[in-house]
Amino acid sequence: MPVLVMKFGGTSVATLDRIARAAKRVGREVANGYDVIVIVSAMAGKTNELVSWVEETSPLFDAREYDAVVSSGEQITAGLMALTLQEMDVPARSWAGWQVPLKTTSAHSSARIEEIPTDNIMAKFGEGMKVAVVAGFQGISPEGRITTLGRGGSDTTAVAFAAAFEADRCDIYTDVDGVYTTDPRISTKARKLDRIAFEEMLELASLGAKVLQTRSVELAMRYNVRLRVLSSFEDNNENAGTLVCAEEDIMESKVVSGVAYSRDEAKVTLISVADRPGIAAAIFGPLAEAGVNVDMIVQNISEDGRTDMTFSCPVDQVARADDAMEKAKARGEINYHDLVADKDVCKVSVVGIGMRSHAGVASQMFTALKNEGINIKVITTSEIKISVLIDRKYMELAVQALHDAFGLETA
């Protein structure tokens, strides 16, 4: 039998009624001739509750016990989904990550998947089981401890299972009906995309789009897993949602496919740093060790042998960056006059594989922002992306202006 992977997010299994609704979707796919692997998240809000219990019990918690606690949410959902399917006379069984076993590294709370043996589940399919309901977000370390994959890890679990079992497709059911050209809450002209290339989806996910976890898109692109993003709350036909697929599966695409934004950014500048070989390593090495997620980097060189180094990072990591730089300065690794942080900026980006073969995208973007009186603080580009840092108060205006400038409201 062909295998289909279906993943249901927290809002899709938030109540027993929603679990029953999801189970009916699974039952229809079984009737269509599939052996189905269902990946479930914890019921909406449950993981946050479990995390808060851990933090209240032990502020400096043992990560191994953290994983033991927070992984329980998905196990509850898996058991309830299996019971619901059994009540529908669909042969189903729940599986915790360690039972599969989904083998991971030992990095608790942020483990990476290393292997998913297919023998156990395929043997059960051979014995008549039609649905394997697997608890997402979790696995087992080489030491035999439960591990978790980080927030949003159920998406990664689903794609990994689709790759391991060579599934026909991986359907991600969530509270939106697909991937949009931009956030519909900001622009009423936002349009749902029928298809989007892996690379575009990866950029959008990394730039703040919350539809799919970045790691899941990376995995899908590596193993060419066709992803479909669908709504749990609408009746879907075979053409519903958005298909995330290889570039060659898209007949023709616009120059720009979407506009993404990240609200909680900060611009950090080290003033008057010595301009010498190795200075970048001396700055960004300590930042990496401190866990600061650096994104955009700009270096301004002056005539007196000094330079200003500017970078962006999440706003909640500014204090960590400041501390890392102060310690590096105290060790004599770097010397700078001051660290200045602007916490009132955001990042706005345009993304599209069509940029590879079309000139003038940057000019069109910058002109649209200029026409709205929006000043650009930092610019960074890649082959299919242009990102700018601007004042946060202009974020919604910038998104709407760029959406209009590139005509994204029409197919």
First to last CA, the chain: 37
Q: 289 and 171, same structural domain?
A: no
pLDDT tens track for 327-381 = 999 999 999 999 999 999 999 999 998 888 888 999 999 999 999 999 999 999 9
pLDDT tens track for 29-44 = 999 999 999 999 999 9
Domain end marker among 158, 175, 192: 175
3-class secondary structure per residue, 61-72: CCHHHHHHHHCH
Q: Which long-range contacts (CB under 8 A, 24 or more apart) does 231-240 make?
A: 231/173, 231/174, 231/175, 231/176, 231/177, 231/178, 232/8, 232/9, 232/11, 232/12, 232/18, 232/21, 232/22, 232/25, 232/173, 232/174, 232/175, 233/175, 234/177, 239/194, 240/177, 240/178
> What pLDDT shows up at residue 176?
82
CA distance 407 to 295: 28
> What pLDDT shows up at residue 326?
95
> What pLDDT shows up at residue 374?
97
CA distance 208 to 214: 10
Two tokens at 167?
């599934």
Q: Give the rounded distance of the alpha carbon of 205 from its chain centre.
A: 5
Domain end marker among 126, 154, 175: 175
- pLDDT band with cut points at 50, 70 and 90 for residue 236: low
**Residue 265 domain-assigned (yes or no):** yes
Evaluate if residue 238 carries a pLDDT over 80. Answer: no
Evaluate if residue 164 carries a pLDDT over 70. Answer: yes
Backbone region of residue 315 per phi and psi (left: phi > 0; alpha: psi in -120 to 50; beta: other values): alpha
pLDDT tens track for 62-114 = 999 999 999 999 999 999 999 999 999 999 999 999 999 999 999 999 899 99
Q: Strand order of the sheet with strand 92-95?
A: 92-95, 131-135, 35-40, 3-8, 170-174, 227-231, 242-245, 195-197
Two tokens at 127?
């014995």
CA distance 319 to 326: 11
- pLDDT band with cut points at 50, 70 and 90 for residue 208: low
**Residue 65 domain-assigned (yes or no):** yes
Evaluate if residue 7 carries a pLDDT over 70. Answer: yes
> What pLDDT shows up at residue 330?
94
Owning domain of residue 63 = 3-175
> What pLDDT shows up at residue 213?
80
Q: The domain that contains 169 carries what CATH number? A: 3.40.1160.10
CA distance 326 to 341: 14
Percentage of the chain lying above the pLDDT 90 cut? 71
> What pLDDT shows up at residue 24?
95
Scanning the structure block, which residue is given the tokens 């001739």?
33
3-state helix, strand, coil in the chain (%, to 5): 40, 25, 35
Domain end marker among 125, 145, 175: 175
Q: 263 and 144, same structural domain?
A: no
**Residue 369 domain-assigned (yes or no):** yes
Q: 288 and 396, same structural domain?
A: yes
Cis-peptide into 184, omega within 30 deg: no
> What pLDDT shows up at residue 252?
65
**Residue 293 domain-assigned (yes or no):** yes
Two tokens at 119?
């023998």
**Residue 239 domain-assigned (yes or no):** no
- pLDDT band with cut points at 50, 70 and 90 for residue 228: very high
Q: How many domains does the chain have?
A: 2
Evaluate if residue 207 carries a pLDDT over 80. Answer: no
> What pLDDT shows up at residue 31?
96
- H or E, element range at 35: strand 35-40
> What pLDDT shows up at residue 363?
94
**Residue 33 domain-assigned (yes or no):** yes
Q: 264 and 142, same structural domain?
A: no
CA distance 195 to 250: 7
- pLDDT band with cut points at 50, 70 and 90 for residue 154: very high
Q: 307 and 171, same structural domain?
A: no
Lowest mean pLDDT among 48-57, 178-187, 230-239: 230-239
Three-state DSSP state, 94: strand
Instruction: Give pTM, 2 decimals.
Output: 0.82
The mean pLDDT of 17-27, rounded to a whole number, is: 96
- Please provide the DSSP assignment of 279-348 as one string: HHHHHHHHHHHTT-----EEEEE-TTSEEEEEEEEEGGGHHHHHHHHHHHHHTTS---SEEEEEEEEEEE
Lowest mean pLDDT among 200-204, 372-376, 401-405: 200-204
Q: 169 and 306, same structural domain?
A: no
Scanning the structure block, which residue is given the tokens 């962006």?
312
**Residue 135 domain-assigned (yes or no):** yes
**Residue 210 domain-assigned (yes or no):** no
Evaluate if residue 401 carries a pLDDT over 90. Answer: yes
Evaluate if residue 294 carries a pLDDT over 80. Answer: yes
Q: 165 and 27, same structural domain?
A: yes
Q: The domain that contains 373 carries what CATH number? A: 3.30.2130.10
